[in-house]
């Protein structure tokens, strides 16, 4: 299974910076690891235009509604129509600043999958939760609430991203063993929940991944790739994360 690296550009870059990224990235990217890019919505058509065909483009959030009177929202349907491949759902910044809960993410995942996108569902514990020994329970709960009663999920349309909240944008990375412990638990939960295909669902790690720590993280048995914020903004860094130095 190819490792998957997803760039989460968050609310960064202008159109010139997007173009500069691809002028270097396209030249050196070998396809050794899969590369997906989640840009701001407005830049999506530009990313689609500039990227090579092996790179997949998507967004950082979509509405749970398919269409209608929801001012300011972006639909999974419109994303799919524009050739989008995936959407990140439940990123901790969305949970923290926009009051998303695992329960309403259940609807967002359902809609995204129904419309033909891959849902990349993010889970993770806060520092307080880790320190009080609740990590595995919190994550299990986030998985159950968001993935319960979903009949259309399979190993191709769902990716899980484990991102400890205390490691996002802080420079503090979970050690490979800490990450592996949680990934193994997520794998176990997925196998129980989806016996036919749970084993094949990709589980990515996210939280201060950088060129100098990526290899030891990816060497862990249950880490199938990474979700990368800061280090995905520079083409040379993201190339290194994709195994292209």
Residues annotated as catalytic are: 91, 163
Q: Of residues 204, 227, 240, 242, which one binds ligand PGA by CB under 6 A?
A: 227
228 binds ligand PGA (CB under 6 A): yes
CB of 103 to ligand PGA, least distance (A): 22
Q: How far is the CB of 69 from ligand PGA (least distance, A)?
A: 31
Question: In angstroms, what is the minimal distance from the CB of 233 to ligand PGA?
Answer: 9
Enumerate residues 196-215 that contact ligand PGA by CB under 6 A.
206-209
- Token look-up 């991944």 returns 209
Nearer to ligand PGA, 78 or 179 (CB): 179
Question: Residue 33: which of 225, 165, 172, 184 has the closest Cα?
Answer: 225
E strand intervals along the chain? 4-8, 34-38, 56-59, 86-89, 118-123, 158-162, 202-206, 225-228
Query: What's the rounded Cα separation, in Å, for the pair 23 and 82?
Result: 22
Task: Assess 62 for contact with ligand PGA (CB under 6 A).
Answer: no
- The CA-atom distances, in angstroms, between 7 and each of 12, 44, 116 are 12, 13, 21
* Residue 168 touching ligand PGA (CB under 6 A): yes
- Which of the residues 112 through 151 are near ligand PGA (CB under 6 A)? none
Q: Which is nearer to ligand PGA, 8 or 135 (CB)?
A: 8
For the chain, report the end-to-end CA distance as a whole number of angstroms: 21
Q: Taking contact as CB under 6 A, which single stretch among the options 65-73, 175-183, 196-204, 225-233 is the one that binds ligand PGA? A: 225-233
| Contact residue for ligand PGA among 34, 64, 100, 163 (CB under 6 A) | 163
Query: Is 198 or 229 the residue whose CB approaches ligand PGA more closely?
Result: 229
**Number of residue whose CB is nearest ligand PGA:** 229
Helix (H) or strand (E) holding 160: strand 158-162
Contact 121, 162 (CB under 8 A): no
Angle among Cα 175, 36, 102 to the nearest 5 degrees reads 65
Size of the site for ligand PGA (CB under 6 A): 13
- Judge whether 106 and 147 are in contact, CB under 8 Å: yes
58 is a site residue for ligand PGA (CB under 6 A)? no
Between 31 and 169, whose beta carbon lies closer to ligand PGA?
A: 169
Rounded-to-integer distance, Cα 65 and Cα 227, Å:
25
| Between 230 and 243, CB nearer to ligand PGA | 230
C-alpha span between 194 and 151 (Å, rounded)? 10
- Where along the sequence are the contacts to ligand PGA (CB under 6 A)? 8, 163, 168-169, 206-209, 227-231
């Amino acid at each position: 299974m190819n490792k998957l690296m997803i760039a989460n550009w968050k609310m960064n870059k202008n159109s010139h910076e997007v173009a500069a990224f691809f002028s270097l990235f396209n030249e050196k990217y070998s396809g050794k690891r899969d590369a997906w890019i989640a840009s701001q919505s407005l830049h999506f058509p530009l990313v689609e235009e500039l990227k090579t065909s092996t790179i997949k483009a998507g967004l950082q959030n979509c509405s749970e509604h398919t269409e209608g009177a929801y001012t300011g929202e972006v639909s999974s349907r419109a994303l799919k129509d524009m050739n989008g491949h995936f959407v990140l759902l439940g990123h901790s910044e969305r949970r923290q600043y926009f009051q998303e809960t695992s329960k309403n993410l259940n609807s967002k995942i359902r809609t995204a999958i129904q419309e033909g996108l891959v849902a990349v569902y993010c889970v993770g514990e806060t520092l307080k939760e880790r320190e009080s020994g609740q990590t595995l329970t919190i994550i299990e709960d986030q998985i159950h609430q968001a993935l319960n009663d979903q009949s259309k999920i399979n190993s191709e349309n769902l990716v899980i991203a484990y991102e400890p909240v205390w490691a996002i944008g802080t420079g503090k990375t979970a050690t490979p063993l800490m990450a592996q412990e949680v990934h193994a638990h997520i794998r176990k939960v997925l196998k129980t929940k989806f016996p036919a295909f749970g084993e094949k669902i990709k589980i990515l790690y996210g939280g201060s991944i950088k060129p100098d720590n990526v290899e030891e993280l990816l060497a862990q048995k249950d880490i199938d790739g990474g979700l990368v914020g800061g280090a995905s903004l520079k083409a040379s860094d993201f190339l290194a994360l994709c195994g292209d130095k």
